[in-house]
Amino acid sequence: MQNFLRRSLVAAGFAAGTALQIASAQAQYVQTAVCGSSGCTCRVSNVTIEEVEATLRLPTRDGAIDMILVEDDVGFSWQDLTPAQLDRKYGGDGSCLLELTDNSGMEDGRWQISVGTTDLSACKMVGGQIAAGGMTGETRTINWGREFHPDTLFMESVGMVRWSKTGLQTWRGVVVDERMSANGGSSGASVIHSIRVDSSTQVSGNTVFEYDLNIPGLDAAAASVIAGMQCKTVTPFTARKIG
């Protein structure tokens, strides 16, 4: 009986291992390119076609696995070109070699976040003043691992931000997004981060705070006071590898 159980466990383990190997072999990752006015940056991503459909809501074309998913100023599209043809199409010299990678594509090392000047021009409660200056945060050693995720950069806020991927290189993080209604009026407040991976050594983005209050049926004087309570601020930030 013990021999039978032992053989059954070995057989089950072998079958599971074989299934994992088959699944891994069948996984097909999307070729991607980010293109501008002077060419493209190409790579084989760790994203599948199914993940592209779910994240970007971009319909899959027949034969898409043999195409390149291109992100340019217009948006995303499947293009049936070679990397060299694609690079030349966008003004490059045709040298867009596909980078094969099993990691995030980010460079490990010492990173620093710099916070820029907050734009208060749409925040009437502070008179539309522009905050002076920005600030530079502490330096942190980061090992990115297999896949980029904002939590790796903003470790102090892990669990406090609901991150969602909005593109191949872009993310949206919700700190708070609440709205209340009562007696025909409404109010809302939100704090939302937007970030983009610019390169293997830089990530940029901004934090937007918004507050609005709506109370219908007020006279002109009261409506003017309420209008002065509307507020939107935008704070840019950049994270760079410095060592």
Structure tokens at 64: 């898409």
Q: Is the CB of residue 203 less than 8 Å from the CB of residue 196?
A: yes
Residue with tokens 């690079």: 87
Q: Is the CB of residue 98 less than 8 Å from the CB of residue 130?
A: no
What pLDDT digit, counting tens, does each position of 9-18 carry? 333 333 333 3
The predicted pLDDT at position 9 comes to 33
pLDDT tens, residue order, the chain (243 aa)? 333 233 333 333 333 333 333 333 345 778 888 888 888 888 877 778 888 888 787 888 888 888 999 988 888 899 999 999 999 999 999 988 766 555 567 889 999 999 999 988 888 777 545 555 567 777 889 998 877 899 999 988 899 999 998 877 789 999 999 988 877 788 889 999 999 888 888 999 999 999 988 888 777 777 777 677 789 999 999 999 998
Q: Is the CB of residue 32 less than 8 Å from the CB of residue 168?
A: yes
Question: What is the DSSP annotation of the chain?
Answer: -HHHHHHHHHHHHHHHHHHHHHHHHH--EEEEEEEETTEEEEEEEEEEHHHHHHHH--PPPTTGGGSEEEE-SS-EEEE-S-HHHHHHHTTS-S--PPEE-SS-SPPPEEEEEEE---B-TT-GGGTT------EEEEEEEE---SS--HHHH-GGGTTTSEEEE-SSSEEEEEEEEEEEEETTEEEEEEEEEEEEEEETTEEEEEEEEEEEEE-TT--HHHHHHHHTT-EEEEEEEEEEE--
The predicted pLDDT at position 99 comes to 64
Domain ranges of the chain: 2-100, 109-241
What pLDDT digit, counting tens, does each position of 66-93 carry? 899 998 888 889 999 999 999 999 999 9
Structure tokens at 122: 């749409």
d(CA 129, CA 236): 16
